Amino acid sequence: MTNPVYVAIDTTEAARAISLAERLKGQVGGFKLGLEYFTANGPAGMEAVSGLGMPLFVDLKLHDIPNTVAAAMKGVVRLGAAITTIHASGGGAMIRAAVDAANDEAARLGMVPPAVVAVTVLTSLDQAGAEQVGFDRPVLDQVKRLAALAQESGAAGIVCSPLEVEAVRALCGPDFKLVIPGIRPAWSEAGDQKRFLTPAEARAKGADVLVIGRPITGAADPAEAAGRIKAELGL
Ligand SMILES: O=c1ccn([C@@H]2O[C@H](COP(=O)(O)O)[C@@H](O)[C@H]2O)c(=O)[nH]1
């Protein structure tokens, strides 16, 4: 089985990111770099990590009018992303524009386009937090609604919490990519994550990609922590 874990390397420091990536290379399936890293280090910083030869998940969660998202998505393709994120709540036209831009730019450059996945309801929101931003229905229903929109608008998959995986799988089918943060091994701290399960639980429910940051990167020995997660997954 391919290792489904993408480690979220959330830091502003390129040297720390590269050092973590080098130490974790054999223990995870890929590296995720997000806003914190990109705004500090730009495309060159991204390339310093992708140059280590592992799949790169570029997590910029684009959310703007379709024209702007399409232009930004072309830059994401040039970073060599295997997976990248947009916000589903940007709407169907925005999702379609992002997917079309990814495909067009990749074709122009002779590259494989990234899997464009749409963030539904952030895993840091519980029911009360979701209601605060106007999702006045159960979180599961909101996730399913945005998953259906993402799928009909051409996205390769979605980002949701492990608690919603089974329902979205039933709704969207086996080929829809479920990228799942909110992963907390039993021995780790929840931090700001509100909707979470363990790696083994998330995998058993049918998650395709497990996004795990602080339980690995904040451990005294990140490679050992990633190795424990690998063992939990039977890898
Ligand atoms: O709903 C979401 C969407 C994205 N994330 C990102 O995943 C990682 C999780 O890191 P942990 O340290 O394991 O909490 C982080 O980069 C988030 O930006 C998410 O957590 N929830």
Residues in CB range of 185: below 8 A, 6 or more apart: 198, 199, 215, 228, 229, 232
Total number of domains in the chain: 1
Tell how far the Cα of 193 is from the centroid of ligand 1, in angstroms.
8
Q: What is the pLDDT of residues 138-150, one digit of tens each?
A: 999 999 999 999 9
CA distance 3 to 29: 5
**Which residues are identified as catalytic?**
59, 61, 64
Tally Cβ neighbours within 10 Å of residue 231: 10
Which ipTM did the prediction report? 0.99
Determine what percent of the chain is predicted with pLDDT higher than 70: 100
The tens digit of pLDDT for each residue in 13-31 reads 999 999 999 999 999 999 9
Is the separation of the CB atoms in 7 and 226 below 8 Å? yes
The residue segments making up the domain with residue 121 are: 5-232
**Are the C-beta atoms of residues 232 and 198 closer than 8 Å to each other?**
yes
Q: Is 117 a pocket residue for ligand 1 (Cβ < 6 Å)?
A: no
User: How many other CB atoms are found less than 10 A from the CB of residue 226?
Assistant: 25
What would the mean pLDDT of 87-115 be, rounded to a whole number? 98
Three-state SS at 163:
helix
Average pLDDT, the chain: 98
Neighbouring-strand partners of residue 59: 34
Triad 223, 226, 193: Cα angle to 5°: 125
The amino acid occupying position 20 is L
Q: Which long-range contacts (CB under 8 A, 24 or more apart) does 185-193 make?
A: 185/215, 185/228, 185/229, 185/232, 187/215, 187/228, 188/214, 188/215, 189/214, 189/215, 192/124, 193/123, 193/124
181 lines ligand 1 (CB under 6 A): yes
Ligand 1 atom nearest to CA at 217? 12
- Please tell me the distance from the alpha carbon of residue 83 to that of residue 98, in angstroms, as a whole number: 13
CATH number at residue 191: 3.20.20.70
Question: Is 66 annotated in some ligand binding site?
Answer: yes
Mean pLDDT, residues 198-221 taken together = 98
Answer yes or no: is 12 a known binding residue: no
Does the annotation place 83 within a ligand binding site? no
pLDDT tens string 53-94:
999 999 999 999 999 999 999 999 999 999 999 999 999 999
